[in-house]
Amino acid sequence: MSNETNNMSLQDLLNLSDEHDKKLGLSEERLQEQLPNLRHLIAFFREYPDIFIDFLIQNDPNCTFHFYFYQRIFLRIAMRHRYVYATFPRAYSKSFLSMLVLMIRCILYPHSELFITTGGKEQAASITIAKIEELCRLIPALNNELNLERGKTRKTKDDVEYVFKNGSRINVLAAKQSSRGQRRTGGLMEECVLIDGDILNEVIIPTTNVDRLLADGERVPDETVNKSQVYVTTAGWKNSFAYKKLVELLIQSVLDPDEVMIMGGTYETPVIEGLLNEDFVDKLKLQGTYNDASFDREYRSIWSGDAENAFFSSEVFDKHRVLLQPEYEYSGRSAKSAYYVIGVDVGRFKCTTEASVIKVTPQPQGTPIQSLVNLYSYEAEDFEEQAINIKKLYYKYKARQVVIDANGVGAGFVDFMTKAQIDPETNDIFPPFGVSGGTYAEVMDQYKKVNKQPDIEADAMYLVKANAPINTEAHTYVQTQMSSGKIKLLIDEMQAKNKLMSTKVGQQMDSDKRAEYLKPFTLTTILKEQMLNLKEENEGVNIILKQNSRGIPKDKFSAFEYGLYYVKKQEEGRQRKHGRDLSKMILFG
C-alpha cells in the first residue's frame, strides 16, 4: 500500500466518485470487484480489532505503538459482546482501551452514535479528549478517520463531540435528567461506580433504544454495536448500584455467553508488562492513608463488602458526595450564620487521633446543612503534641467548639487541652481550653476550677461521654441526616484527580503535591469504608454498631459522629428556646 493510500480513511475508499480516489487510479468497477473482499475484511476486523490496528500502523515508520497481550484480549472481548463489564485496577489502561473500542466501532460501523458518561459531564469530557488525542497521537491513522472541518468535531471544557468521516459520532452524555430523550446506539460507562444508579437506569440506558442506520436505510438489530453497554471501573462497594449491575451481568453471561462477558484483573498484570512500577505499589503501602480494604479495591479489584445488616448505605453516601473542594481554614465567604465544629476521636499507642471539620449552615426551615469540609489524621503522638494540633485547627477554622470523646484515653487528653502549650516549631502559646458542656451531668462541676483560669479560651470544648442511649441517639441522627440529604461530603478522589489533571496547575504538580491535594478526598473515602463496615445489632431499644471486620477501624466515623451529635444538641436547644418564647403565644384580636 502506498503512503498516499495509507493516509486515506476507510470512508475515502468507499466514496467511489470522489476526485481524490481518481488520483489514485481507483475506479468504481475495480472497487465493485473488491467489495466482497472488503466486506470479509471488515467483518474480520470487527472480530479481531487488534489486528485492525496492526493493519493501520504496519506501513507507518513513525508509529512505535504495540499491544500487550492482555490488551488484545480486552479489545476482542469488548468488540465481540454487546454487554461488557470490566473491573480493573489503576494503570491497567482500561480507559485507553475502552475509548479505543468506541473509536474502532465508529470506524467499522458507519453512522454509529456512541456516548461516554461518568459521574460528571466535565470529567467525562476531560477523559474523552485526553484519551482520543492520545490514541490519535500513538496511532496517526485514527486521526484520518475524524472529520476535523469547522463545525464538525468540537471540544469544550464540559462537552465534546468527535465526528467521523463516515457519519459516526462519539460524544458526552451527562448523567443527569437533562439527557432524557436523547438517542444513541451504545456507549461507555466510565468509572461506573461514580454514576447514580437511578439516572443510569431511567435516563442513560434508555437512550440506546435505536439501532444503527445502514447505508441502504435498513437497521439490523442483531448487530453487536446496537444497545451496546461497556462498563469500566475500579472496584467499589457491594450493595452499590455498580456492584448490583456487575452481578446482574455475571448471571446473564452464564445464560448468554455470546452476548455478555465479565472481565477483571489485578495490579500484577501491568507490573509484569512494565506499565506499573512495583516500587510504586510498595510505597503506597507505607502511606498514612493506606489500608488493606482500600488497596484491595484500587489494585486487586476486590469489592469491599457492606456488612450484612449494614447500618449505612454506600449509595446514600455517594449520592451526597458533592463538595468539590475541601476547606483548610475559616471561610469568610460563608453565610453569616455558618460556623465550624471539630469532632475528635482520641488515639494513643498505634492508634491515630482523628479530627473531622464540619461546617454548619443553618437553614430558614428545618435542620442545618452539615458539610464535612476536611478530615485530619494525626499519628499516636503524646497528648501534648496532639493538644497543640487540635488547638491549631480550632483557631484555623475559628471553630465554635471542639467536640471530644472523654471516655478512656480521651479523659487524659482533655486534661492536656485544659492546660497551656507552646508550639516548639513556632513558639506560639496556646491557652488552656475551657469546657462549656457535655453529655454527662458532672461535666461542669468537674471543670469549674479549669474554667476559672484567667487566660482560658472559654467555652472551647464540648465533651461526649457516650453510653448506649447516647450512642443510639447519635447513630440514628447520622443515618437520618444522610438519608435526608442534610450532610454533604467531598467528592470521590478519582473525580477530584480528574478535575485536577484537567488544569495546568494539576499537570505541573509532582506526585507528592498531588497526593497531598487529594488527601481530604481520600480520607473521605476511608470514612465511607468505615461506615459501611458497621453492622446493626440491638440490645432492647438501643442500637449497637459493631465492626464487621475488626481490621477496619471506626475512629474516623466516631470523630464525624461526635461533631454531628453536637449539632443535634445545639439544634434541640435552639428549638427549646423558641418554644419558650412567650411572644409566640400571644393572640391578637
Based on the fold, state whether residues 109 and 34 are members of the same structural domain: no
Check pLDDT > 60 for residue 364: yes
Based on the fold, state whether residues 468 and 564 are members of the same structural domain: yes
Task: Write b or e for each residue in 112-141: b if 16 or more Cβ atoms lie within 10 A of its Cβ, otherwise e.
Answer: bbbbbbbbbbbbbbbbbbbbbeebbebbbb
Based on the fold, state whether residues 43 and 70 are members of the same structural domain: no
Q: Cell triple for residue 358? A: 464540619
Query: Looking at residue 557, what is its pLDDT?
Result: 95
Q: Is residue 488 part of a domain?
A: yes
Q: Is residue 184 part of a domain?
A: yes
463: CATH: 3.30.420.240
User: Which DSSP string do the residues of 336-386 spell out, in sequence order?
Assistant: TT-EEEEEEE---SS--EEEEEEEEE--SSSSPEEEEEEEEEE-S--HHHH
Q: Is residue 127 part of a domain?
A: yes
Domain boundary among 240, 272, 304: 272
Q: Say whether 49 sits in a helix, a strand or coil.
A: helix
Check pLDDT > 90 for residue 355: yes
User: 275-329 pLDDT, tens per residue?
Assistant: 888 888 777 766 655 567 778 888 889 887 665 667 888 888 988 999 999 999 9
Residue 63's pLDDT band (boundaries 50, 70, 90)? confident
Based on the fold, state whether residues 359 and 488 are members of the same structural domain: yes
User: 561-582 pLDDT, tens per residue?
Assistant: 999 999 999 888 777 666 554 4
Domain that holds residue 37: 1-47
Based on the fold, state whether residues 537 and 397 are members of the same structural domain: yes
Domain boundary among 272, 288, 306: 272
Q: Is residue 251 part of a domain?
A: yes
Counting Cβ atoms within 10 Å, is residue 453 exposed (0-12), middle (13-18) or buried (19+)? middle
Based on the fold, state whether residues 133 and 212 are members of the same structural domain: yes
Based on the fold, state whether residues 223 and 359 are members of the same structural domain: no
Based on the fold, state whether residues 403 and 490 are members of the same structural domain: yes
Query: Looking at residue 446, what is its pLDDT?
Result: 73
Q: Is residue 216 part of a domain?
A: yes
User: 25-34 pLDDT, tens per residue?
Assistant: 667 888 788 8
Query: Looking at residue 550, what is its pLDDT?
Result: 79
166: CATH: 3.40.50.300
Q: Is residue 229 part of a domain?
A: yes
Strand order in the sheet with 487-490: 321-323, 487-490, 369-378, 353-361, 339-345, 401-405, 457-464, 433-438
Based on the fold, state whether residues 265 and 132 are members of the same structural domain: yes
| Cβ 189 vs Cβ 230: under 8 Å | yes
User: 431-474 pLDDT, tens per residue?
Assistant: 999 888 776 656 666 777 777 888 889 889 999 888 888 999 99
Based on the fold, state whether residues 319 and 219 are members of the same structural domain: no
Based on the fold, state whether residues 126 and 227 are members of the same structural domain: yes
Query: Looking at residue 501, what is its pLDDT?
Result: 84
Percent of the chain with pLDDT over 70: 89
Q: Is residue 304 part of a domain?
A: no
Going from the C-alpha of 5 to that of each of 2, 23, 282, 296, 577, the distances in angstroms are 5, 10, 49, 49, 83
Q: Is residue 58 part of a domain?
A: no
> Of the given ranges (81-85, 142-146, 346-350, 425-429), which has the lowest mean pLDDT?
346-350
Query: Looking at residue 585, what is its pLDDT?
Result: 41
For residues 211-232, give the mean pLDDT.
Answer: 90
Euclidean distance between CA atoms 194 and 315, whole angstroms: 10
Query: Looking at residue 4, what is its pLDDT?
Result: 47
Check pLDDT > 90 for residue 64: no
For the beta carbon of residue 3, count every other beta carbon within 10 angstroms.
9
Based on the fold, state whether residues 136 and 210 are members of the same structural domain: yes
Residue positions counted in the chain:
589
Check pLDDT > 80 for residue 503: yes
User: 169-210 pLDDT, tens per residue?
Assistant: 999 998 888 888 889 999 999 988 888 888 999 999 999 988
What's the structural domain count of the chain?
A: 3
